[in-house]
């Protein structure tokens, strides 16, 4: 099952890299095409935004069931199926005849894109030998971080010179080439036997995830205290609580929650969630500050954010090399302390803070996130036996997707409420009130990051033990 040959490693890694790259890239390239799509199909912005929201919703819904599907089909077959579905749905987007069909095909693309992300992570831990997993995860993280960096720029260039359909046409040749590499070089294997399909678990997790993600995505627009948001939120939580209770009772669960019996997986997942929240704090607040307070254009904002994003992407494979030498603890504790310091510094910015200072702070903060991201993911995945790695990957990506939506929704609402508070308290200008509101939310982000500091030491404690948790 392990692939020792160096050329095979790079061929398999290329399929993993480009598959993951395409799935993440498709999230960020579509935004720049909104005006053109709205004009061609005579659609409103509220309708067109579902090209983005629908894709994200689909990726979050499908994540919990990937582990089961991989166990039944094998991850090689499932990867080929996901690439085929992603490529065909991209082709369907090209031939869409109205905004409704384009949204439908885009949601279908999101289903297969949401499968690709956990599949590629799982294959790393089931195909590559342990000594190459950290480096492979560094490359996987590079794809995840590089795609959002170049997505808006690449999408803008394609739309300007080749039209909005070129965004989807780009996926077709890369998807086909990746399918050939996967079919030829990834070995066929299945680590578990056939199991019956947990239909009730499937319905509850899909419905619960959908309701929660919808409430997270639209809570700021509807109002977090509105009956619509609260009903979706409560219903989603109740359905997921039922799902968890049901999965622990039955003999053939859809999602193996037994992975939480591995202590390092639990600790790493909690830390990963905190880092995800910290990531989206900056992703939301820094552009908001640059455009609403400093009055910079979207292009200038992107250029200021670019150095940090490039550092985060470039550092990932290098960190993967260091991981094998020093383990996760030193990398993660360094990253967490950097995140805390940089986020705290952001909480003190004002209406006249220089652009250079903002760019440097963002660069430092992104380096801290990079130092945490891959080591935490690898620490969690390597702690789980190969039999359950697909389920561990599904849970990890499911948690990230949900927290991304929740973080953006809550932080957006907090900025609005704190800005209103400062305006009512006598802030001299709208810009000053907005800045103070953003500062308050950065302080909240700092406190969230501080929670990670003591938790990081749990990684060190587990590292000292020589016994590996027994496979369940």
Which tens digit of pLDDT belongs to each residue from 12-56?
A: 888 888 888 888 888 777 766 777 888 888 887 667 777 877 787
Q: In sequence order, which residues have a C-beta less than 8 Å from that of residue 42 and are 6 or more positions away?
A: none
In three-state secondary structure terms, 128 is coil
pLDDT at residue 112, as a whole number? 92
Candidates 385, 382, 398, 394; CA nearest to 191 is 385
Tell me the C-alpha to C-alpha distance, in Å, between residue 326 and each of 32, 332, 460: 42, 11, 11
pLDDT at residue 46, as a whole number? 66
* pTM score of the predicted model: 0.76
Domain ranges of the chain: 1-188, 199-253, 259-464
pLDDT tens digit string along 65-86? 887 788 777 888 888 999 999 9
pLDDT at residue 92, as a whole number? 94
Q: Please report how many Cα atoms fall inside a 13 Å half-sphere around the Cα of residue 53, on the Cβ side.
A: 15
Record: fold of 259-464: Growth Hormone; Chain: A; (1.20.1250)
pLDDT under 50 in the chain at which residues?
1-4, 462-472
Asked whether the domain spanning 259-464 has the same topology as the one spanning 1-188, the reply is yes
pLDDT at residue 470, as a whole number? 42
- In 29-129, which residue ranges form alpha helices assigned H by DSSP? 34-41, 45-48, 50-62, 66-73, 75-94, 99-127
pLDDT at residue 4, as a whole number? 47
Q: Does CATH place domain 1-188 in 1.10.630.10?
A: no
Whether the CB-CB separation of 25 and 112 falls below 8 Å is answered with no
pLDDT at residue 1, as a whole number? 43
Candidates 216, 251, 252; CA nearest to 232 is 216
């Amino acid at each position: 099952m392990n692939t020792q040959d160096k050329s095979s490693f790079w061929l398999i890694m290329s399929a993993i890299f480009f598959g993951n790259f395409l799935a993440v890239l498709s999230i960020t390239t579509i935004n720049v095409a909104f005006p053109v799509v709205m004009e061609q199909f005579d659609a409103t912005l509220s309708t067109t935004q579902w090209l983005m929201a629908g894709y994200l919703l689909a990726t979050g819904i499908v994540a919990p069931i990937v582990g089961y599907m991989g166990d039944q089909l094998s991850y090689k077959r499932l990867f080929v199926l996901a690439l085929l579905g992603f490529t065909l749905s991209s082709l369907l987007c090209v031939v869409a005849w109205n905004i409704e069909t384009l949204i439908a095909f885009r949601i279908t693309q999101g289903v297969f894109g949401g499968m690709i992300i956990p599949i590629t992570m799982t294959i790393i831990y089931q195909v590559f030998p342990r000594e190459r997993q950290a480096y492979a995860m560094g490359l996987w993280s590079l794809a995840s971080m590089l795609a959002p960096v170049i997505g808006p720029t690449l999408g803008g260039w394609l739309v300007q010179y080749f039209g909005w359909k070129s965004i989807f046409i780009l996926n077709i040749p890369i998807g086909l080439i990746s399918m050939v590499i996967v079919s030829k070089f990834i070995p066929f294997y299945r680590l578990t036997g056939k199991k019956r399909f947990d239909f009730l678990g499937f319905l509850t997790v899909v419905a619960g995830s959908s309701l929660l993600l919808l409430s997270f995505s639209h809570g700021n627009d509807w109002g977090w205290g509105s009956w619509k948001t609260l009903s979706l939120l409560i219903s989603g939580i109740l359905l997921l609580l039922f799902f968890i209770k049901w999965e622990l009772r039955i003999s053939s669960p859809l999602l193996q929650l037994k992975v939480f019996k591995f202590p390092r997986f639990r600790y790493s997942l909690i830390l990963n969630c905190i880092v995800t929240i910290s990531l989206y704090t900056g992703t939301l607040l820094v552009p908001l500050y640059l455009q609403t307070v400093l009055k910079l254009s979207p292009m200038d904002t992107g250029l200021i954010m670019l150095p940090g994003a490039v550092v985060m992407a470039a550092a990932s494979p290098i960190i993967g090399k260091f991981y094998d030498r020093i383990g996760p603890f030193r990398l993660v504790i360094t990253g967490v302390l950097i995140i805390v310091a940089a986020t705290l510094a952001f909480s003190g910015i004002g209406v006249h803070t220089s652009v250079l200072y903002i760019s440097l702070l963002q660069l430092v903060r992104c380096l801290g996130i990079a130092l945490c991201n891959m080591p935490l993911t690898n620490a969690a995945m390597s702690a789980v036996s190969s039999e359950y790695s697909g389920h561990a990957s599904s849970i990890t990506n499911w948690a990230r997707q949900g927290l991304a939506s929740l973080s953006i929704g809550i932080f957006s609402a907090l900025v609005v409420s704190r800005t209103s508070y400062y305006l009512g308290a006598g802030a001299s200008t709208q810009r000053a009130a907005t800045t103070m509101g953003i500062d308050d939310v950065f302080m909240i982000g700092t406190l969230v990051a501080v929670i990670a500091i003591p938790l990081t030491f749990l990684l060190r404690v587990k590292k000292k033990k020589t016994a590996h948790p027994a496979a369940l």
